[in-house]
Chains A and B, each alone.
Chain A
């Protein structure tokens, strides 16, 4: 903050001094966040108690640590005016490209893909943080050209800005994140007011591209996707076809969720989770664990918390003090919605397996921290929006 406070800044400080910053936070959003953290910790504690012999709390402790750090980061971010990020749009976009290039250069390979950068304390997955960087950078670029949104060239340029990093992520290969990038970009354009025909054209282009990648290119001998990605994308159409291989995970997940019935089988009797039939039970398939262990009741609670989260995010889109805020909130909304529905849809067999994590529920530092930063931004937009309302009223009084 600058040394000589402006009247408005002073008034903000007066307000925050008087009523405390916490009261300007969105309490429902905070409640949903904390509720999901609690659900995540309880689920992971039960699911991973046998994963590492001798240390039943290994994953739980780490996840709790990430949660504490994440919540602190989020709260810190709420005190910061997100609007200033507009000035840093080029460095942010540069970081987005740079990190993803870096991971291709020196990332470590896990299960056939190069997505991680090993840091001293934890492994870092740039494609996760990249989602947020893209939201911020793209929102800033949109605001710059807000008066020329009607032009086709604007839409094309903005979309290319998003497709560049998406392509980098796809090479890693991380198809799930690449699709998040595209979705986020579309959502930002949508909120910004890009004409419907442009968006329709883009969606049509993507449909054509999908057909090319899945059907035409392999026939011509060009394999854009890894074979396992194709199997996952096409396998969910007929999950009982090949139970041991491509669709094994979906079947096991369905069995896990279905066997939970109304109230769940409890931690001790959740055999799908406990005997490792459920793959990735603390990361990608954590929702299946909830379904098996706590049944329809538990799954419905988690989904309700997400519904609350989404509702409050939508509300923040409308509360934002400027277009930049609304776009960031729209991007975050798209990111959360996409991840929640693709991940949950995957576990209940209505979406293909794309390796998308469940925000706030899945184990994993990068995804957790990214989500907290996103929520911090949302809270910041909320705080700034409330301040703007309040101070606007006050400024009128003062003038």
Chain B
């Protein structure tokens, strides 16, 4: 080759194979770059917003500050349910020592400080069972329930224990002390069954409409008034929004929202009446015991007949509501609520349905009058017995009253008079499977269905009808068959045996209606239902919807919302009929010879009252008394029952007199009646 070749042409020759392989490498590089570019485009340009949002939530944590719940005050403003500041011990599981030995050492020491046993015991965590100490068990369960959340291991710490932990914070990494609010009930047993309990919202509850908008971990009302009015009482937890780094350490405060205390709930209860009522009920039980009746419980309810405001409601036995303000040990639970305590947690005024005896006669009277079977002047000739086929029913004590009208029949509680009405009001079971006029009127007065009071756990009672009776017989037959075929399985399915019907498998008969006419047989009602029925007599036919909540107020006392539920219905009772019933009730209470004249005769206000004595086989009679005072300023209707308390005038009526005395400021006198009527 001659001459100088231009530099560009003087490249070192490369083999075709190398050229090919370099080209392949270049192709691979090109493909990889393309993939990376497209992926970046997708991440940053197409999905950037989404990742930006994630980055924002990544660095922000909301620290919740518990808001105190609203208080409950009585109708005059006296606090019945308050808040109390307490300290809780909170464990942050990720900050505990990681080494198992160090972790166990710290938890053992902490157990000692908190008075818990450090001995290992069985602990169920989800589906697993491990053997760890009590404190570790709490921590593990907490982590299992809500991972990454702190676990509250002890609420309401004694002051000195709190100081110990605060002073030695360095000894206990991952353990902190936080202020919490606990419920406090200054009047202890007063109204204990009404207020209900509070607790952390459960996983399932979060999905319910009732707790819409509640965040996990919030303390909400779980029963009673706390549950019904939770929306108002709850308040709004405060939140401090902090910027955190990857370890969860706070790096700065973004903004914070102060906790807002819940609104107060003003109740229709009158603290004086409530306290006196519970004392009166206790007195009634005491009177019954004095008569040799083994009474252990009872209930009363006082309503404003105009609007259904519950002025007082009590159930015996009661309990100290403060027991539930903090976690209750199994032992404490057993002592206070276990066997032999006669179910203090049940609010017998709304959750227990009983036969009501003669207090039901106002319903029979209404039905007979409105149906035109009798008029107020119709006279019935009482011979002391009432024959119904082979069955002979007698008046209590076998007394014979001679010719009586409705007024006298109510005054002295003539059973035969109402047996007769019951028999005549009986409808043909085939054409009227739901019963006749008597059942209709029982339903109109509000029996057979819950009244709709703003407390949980209300029962509706039973109005016996031909159809009801048949269905019970069918249930009984099925149960009996089950026991015959497979006794083992049947015992599991029917733990209390076959108790659906009397076992005779007899269908509806006239006798059922006769028993119903005097509040016996299969009829069951709550004290509250009875009070509502008598309120309708007092107010001229309005069946009120009882309520304990009265107003929602802000902490300064301004009314945010009035609670005034509309009446359930109005029943039309002709004035003359109504007047006849009222006359009978007044005569029973305050005219000589009346069943409760001994008790109410000297009361300075007009009292309209009816005794009742519900009979049970194999048990003492249940004492009932229902009365109202149609005062123009402060009318009241009171229903009271004493379980196994004997005759109505012996136990329940004296208790009602004490309650009325409190309401009208009359000197309280314990006067027991002697009437032995049903």
A276 near B12: Cβ-Cβ < 8 Å: no
B32 near A341: Cβ-Cβ < 8 Å: yes
- Select the stretch in B1-9, B165-173, B183-191, B582-590 that faces chain A: B1-9
Q: Which of A258, A276, A319 contacts B246 (CB 8 A)?
A: A276
Chain A residue contacts of B55, Cβ below 8 A? 255-256, 258-259, 271-272, 277, 292
**Binary CB contact string for chain B from 52 to 70 against chain A (1 if under 8 A, 0 otherwise):** 1011101100000000000
- Write the nearest CB–CB distance from B411 to chain A, whole angstroms: 80
A52: CB under 8 A from chain B? Answer: no
- In the assembled complex, the Cα of A306 lies from the Cα of B22 at a distance in Å of 17
B33 near A303: Cβ-Cβ < 8 Å: yes
Chain A residues bordering chain B, tally (CB within 8 A)? 55
- Write the nearest CB–CB distance from B73 to chain A, whole angstroms: 47
Chain B residue contacts of A392, Cβ below 8 A? 10, 12
Q: Which of A187, A258, A320, A390 contacts B47 (CB 8 A)?
A: A258
- Write the nearest CB–CB distance from B654 to chain A, whole angstroms: 69
> Given the interface contacts A341-B36, A348-B40, does A260 sit within 8 Å of B48 by beta carbon?
yes
- In the assembled complex, the Cα of A348 lies from the Cα of B59 at a distance in Å of 21
B39: CB under 8 A from chain A? Answer: yes
> Given the interface contacts A191-B21, A257-B51, A260-B48, does A389 sit within 8 Å of B40 by beta carbon?
no
- Select the stretch in A6-14, A162-170, A293-301, A354-362 that faces chain B: A293-301
- Write the nearest CB–CB distance from A319 to chain B, whole angstroms: 7
Beta-carbon contacts under 8 Å, A271-293 to B: 271-272, 275-277, 279, 291-292
- Write the nearest CB–CB distance from B472 to chain A, whole angstroms: 57
B18 near A348: Cβ-Cβ < 8 Å: no
A133: CB under 8 A from chain B? Answer: no
B46 — nearest CB in chain A belongs to which residue? Answer: A258
A123: CB under 8 A from chain B? Answer: no
Chain B residue contacts of A262, Cβ below 8 A? 44-45, 48
A291 near B40: Cβ-Cβ < 8 Å: yes
Q: Which of A258, A275, A330, A397 contacts B4 (CB 8 A)?
A: A397
- Write the nearest CB–CB distance from B3 to chain A, whole angstroms: 8
Chain B residue contacts of A303, Cβ below 8 A? 33, 36-37, 40
- Write the nearest CB–CB distance from B673 to chain A, whole angstroms: 74
- In the assembled complex, the Cα of A331 lies from the Cα of B37 at a distance in Å of 25
- Write the nearest CB–CB distance from A317 to chain B, whole angstroms: 5
Beta-carbon contacts under 8 Å, A249-277 to B: 252, 254-262, 271-272, 275-277
B58 near A255: Cβ-Cβ < 8 Å: yes
> Given the interface contacts A299-B44, A314-B22, does A275 sit within 8 Å of B51 by beta carbon?
no
B43: CB under 8 A from chain A? Answer: yes
- Write the nearest CB–CB distance from B21 to chain A, whole angstroms: 6
Chain B residue contacts of A390, Cβ below 8 A? 7, 10
- Write the nearest CB–CB distance from B252 to chain A, whole angstroms: 10
A262 — nearest CB in chain B belongs to which residue? Answer: B45
A307: CB under 8 A from chain B? Answer: yes
A83: CB under 8 A from chain B? Answer: no
Q: Which of B5, B21, B40, B50 contacts A296 (CB 8 A)?
A: B40
- Write the nearest CB–CB distance from B96 to chain A, whole angstroms: 17
A318 near B18: Cβ-Cβ < 8 Å: yes
B33 — nearest CB in chain A belongs to which residue? Answer: A307
Chain A residue contacts of B58, Cβ below 8 A? 252, 255, 271-272, 277
- Write the nearest CB–CB distance from B416 to chain A, whole angstroms: 81
B245 near A277: Cβ-Cβ < 8 Å: yes
B399: CB under 8 A from chain A? Answer: no
- Write the nearest CB–CB distance from B209 to chain A, whole angstroms: 31
A300 near B21: Cβ-Cβ < 8 Å: no
- Write the nearest CB–CB distance from B394 to chain A, whole angstroms: 81
B20 — nearest CB in chain A belongs to which residue? Answer: A193
B12 near A258: Cβ-Cβ < 8 Å: no
A318 near B14: Cβ-Cβ < 8 Å: yes
A337: CB under 8 A from chain B? Answer: yes
- In the assembled complex, the Cα of A207 lies from the Cα of B124 at a distance in Å of 45
B22 near A310: Cβ-Cβ < 8 Å: no
B390: CB under 8 A from chain A? Answer: no
A190: CB under 8 A from chain B? Answer: yes
- Write the nearest CB–CB distance from A148 to chain B, whole angstroms: 16
- In the assembled complex, the Cα of A68 lies from the Cα of B517 at a distance in Å of 109
> Given the interface contacts A314-B26, A350-B35, does A389 sit within 8 Å of B43 by beta carbon?
no
Chain A residue contacts of B12, Cβ below 8 A? 319-321, 385, 388-389, 392
B43 near A190: Cβ-Cβ < 8 Å: no
**Binary CB contact string for chain A from 185 to 200 against chain B (1 if under 8 A, 0 otherwise):** 0010011010000000
Beta-carbon contacts under 8 Å, B542-581 to A: none
- In the assembled complex, the Cα of A307 lies from the Cα of B21 at a distance in Å of 18
Q: Which of B21, B32, B48, B59 contacts A277 (CB 8 A)?
A: B59
A258 near B33: Cβ-Cβ < 8 Å: no
> Given the interface contacts A193-B17, A272-B58, A318-B19, does A258 sit within 8 Å of B51 by beta carbon?
yes
Chain A residue contacts of B39, Cβ below 8 A? 348-350
- In the assembled complex, the Cα of A393 lies from the Cα of B1 at a distance in Å of 9
A396: CB under 8 A from chain B? Answer: yes
B129: CB under 8 A from chain A? Answer: no
- Write the nearest CB–CB distance from B50 to chain A, whole angstroms: 7
B1 near A300: Cβ-Cβ < 8 Å: no
Chain B residue contacts of A296, Cβ below 8 A? 40-41, 44-45
- In the assembled complex, the Cα of A345 lies from the Cα of B602 at a distance in Å of 97
A47: CB under 8 A from chain B? Answer: no
- In the assembled complex, the Cα of A291 lies from the Cα of B47 at a distance in Å of 13
A190 — nearest CB in chain B belongs to which residue? Answer: B21
Chain B residue contacts of A258, Cβ below 8 A? 43-44, 47-48, 50-52, 54-55
- In the assembled complex, the Cα of A306 lies from the Cα of B29 at a distance in Å of 10
B506: CB under 8 A from chain A? Answer: no
> Given the interface contacts A261-B48, A271-B58, A272-B55, does A317 sit within 8 Å of B22 by beta carbon?
yes
B146: CB under 8 A from chain A? Answer: no
B251: CB under 8 A from chain A? Answer: yes
- Write the nearest CB–CB distance from B476 to chain A, whole angstroms: 57
A344: CB under 8 A from chain B? Answer: yes
A333: CB under 8 A from chain B? Answer: yes
- Write the nearest CB–CB distance from A379 to chain B, whole angstroms: 17
B332: CB under 8 A from chain A? Answer: no
- Write the nearest CB–CB distance from B319 to chain A, whole angstroms: 45
> Given the interface contacts A276-B245, A397-B4, does A337 sit within 8 Å of B32 by beta carbon?
yes
B51 near A259: Cβ-Cβ < 8 Å: yes
- Write the nearest CB–CB distance from A299 to chain B, whole angstroms: 5
> Given the interface contacts A275-B243, A344-B36, does A319 sit within 8 Å of B11 by beta carbon?
yes
- Write the nearest CB–CB distance from A288 to chain B, whole angstroms: 10
A25: CB under 8 A from chain B? Answer: no
B244: CB under 8 A from chain A? Answer: yes
- In the assembled complex, the Cα of A348 lies from the Cα of B15 at a distance in Å of 38
A254 near B10: Cβ-Cβ < 8 Å: no
B48 — nearest CB in chain A belongs to which residue? Answer: A261
A326: CB under 8 A from chain B? Answer: yes
A260 — nearest CB in chain B belongs to which residue? Answer: B44
B633: CB under 8 A from chain A? Answer: no
B43 near A348: Cβ-Cβ < 8 Å: yes
Chain A residue contacts of B50, Cβ below 8 A? 258
A393 near B4: Cβ-Cβ < 8 Å: yes
A261 near B45: Cβ-Cβ < 8 Å: yes
A252-B246, A260-B48 known, 14 other contacts, Cβ within 8 Å: A191-B22, A191-B25, A271-B59, A276-B246, A291-B43, A303-B33, A303-B36, A326-B14, A341-B36, A348-B40, A349-B39, A389-B11, A393-B5, A396-B1
5 A-B contacts, Cβ less than 8 Å apart? A255-B51, A262-B45, A291-B43, A299-B40, A333-B25
A residues with a Cβ closer than 8 A to B are: 187, 190-191, 193, 252, 254-262, 271-272, 275-277, 279, 291-292, 295-296, 299-300, 303, 306-307, 310-311, 314, 317-321, 326, 330, 333, 337, 341, 344-345, 348-350, 385, 388-390, 392-393, 396-397
B residues with a Cβ closer than 8 A to A are: 1, 3-5, 7, 10-12, 14-15, 17-19, 21-22, 25-26, 28-29, 32-33, 35-37, 39-41, 43-45, 47-52, 54-56, 58-59, 243-247, 251
Q: Which 6 pairs across A and B sit closest by C-beta, in order of nearness? A: A258-B51, A261-B48, A259-B55, A275-B245, A296-B44, A259-B52
